[in-house]
Amino acid sequence: MGAAEEMVTPGEVVGKTSDVKAGRGTYAAVHNNTVYASLTGFRHTIPPATDSPDQRPTVEVTGHKAHGPVPEPGSIVIARVTKVMAKTAFADIMCVGQKSVREKFTGIIRQQDVRATEIDKVDMHLSFRPGDIVKALVLSLGDARAYFLTTAKNELGVVSAESTAGATMVPISWTEMQCPLSGQIEQRKVAKIAS
């Protein structure tokens, strides 16, 4: 055997669901019947058991190093906003659930995924600022190895932000945070803190 192992990275296509089953380190996207790698590692194809009714081989990606957690659709992540543009905000995913990640995963929050209401009125620059820590839900793997994130639930959004004065701001409403030093109020898409 000994076929050369193929290195893949998150978001890379590793097969079609008609040909292969998604195993460890991969996931299948239903809308286009495509199997993608969900982590960086080597692609392997495992032949089906001879008595298996499903004769598709299983494709899996096994890591080349000890893995931290990998964001998957449906997981709650903590991310740090790196860049805010007119229609999107970019963030580095730091934690999946309670665990910190060991690889670099980029998250994208699109304008339509910031909040659940008045979506067309969302101003990205009044929702997030670079450096903000946000709690978000992974919607799907987007393009260019970035994950689409949403904050469109009450408990999702900015959980920690620094004011221009350099202090950690206190949330005072769904849309505002206040600097305890200057008293200055800044707009944000604030995560509702469970009381």
Are 61 and 39 in contact, with CB atoms under 8 Å apart? yes
Give the contacts of 27 (CB within 8 A, at least 6 positions apart): 35, 36, 38, 72, 73, 141
pLDDT in tens, 71-130: 888 999 999 999 999 999 999 999 999 888 888 899 999 999 999 988 989 999 999 999
CATH number 3.20.130.10 given to 6-63: no
Tokens representing residue 25 in the block: 């380190």
Evaluated on CA atoms 103, 106, 76, 13, the torsion sign reads negative
CATH number of 76-187: 2.40.50.140
How far is residue 56's CA from residue 67's CA, in Å, rounded to a whole number? 27
Query: Cα 82–88–93 angle (5° rounding)?
Result: 40
Confirm whether 6-63 and 76-187 share one CATH topology. yes
How far is residue 66's CA from residue 63's CA, in Å, rounded to a whole number? 7
pLDDT band at 1 (very low <50, low <70, confident <90, very high): very low
- What pairing do the DSSP bridges indicate for beta strands 170-171 and 176-178? antiparallel
pLDDT in tens, 133-172: 999 999 988 766 789 999 999 999 999 999 988 899 999 9
How far is residue 49's CA from residue 127's CA, in Å, rounded to a whole number? 51
Q: Give pTM, 2 decimals.
A: 0.67
Going by C-alpha positions, the residue among 162, 176, 87 that lies closest to residue 130 is 162
What are the extents of the domains in the chain? 6-63, 76-187
